[in-house]
Amino acid sequence: MTPEEERSGDLLDVALADEIELVSDLVVAASSSPRHFTPDEVDDLLGITGGAAAASPSGTAPA
């Protein structure tokens, strides 16, 4: 594979593109707000359901 072929595949990472889109959506929302978002509001903006319990591997909220 040539270096040019390798570079052409660099931007095909779908998961990375999705993460960049989520972060950009969050930045746009934050820049239009006069205050900081709560963790629950960030979850809502990112489309995450279940709050901290869903993010924890044990299913319990962190202490």
The tens digit of pLDDT for each residue in 7-37 reads 665 556 888 888 899 899 999 998 998 999 9
**Continuous H helices in the chain:** 3-8, 14-31, 39-46, 51-55
Q: Answer whether 0.85 is exceeded by the pTM.
A: no
CA 25, CA 44: separation in Å to the nearest integer?
A: 12
Query: For position 45, what pLDDT does the model report?
Result: 85
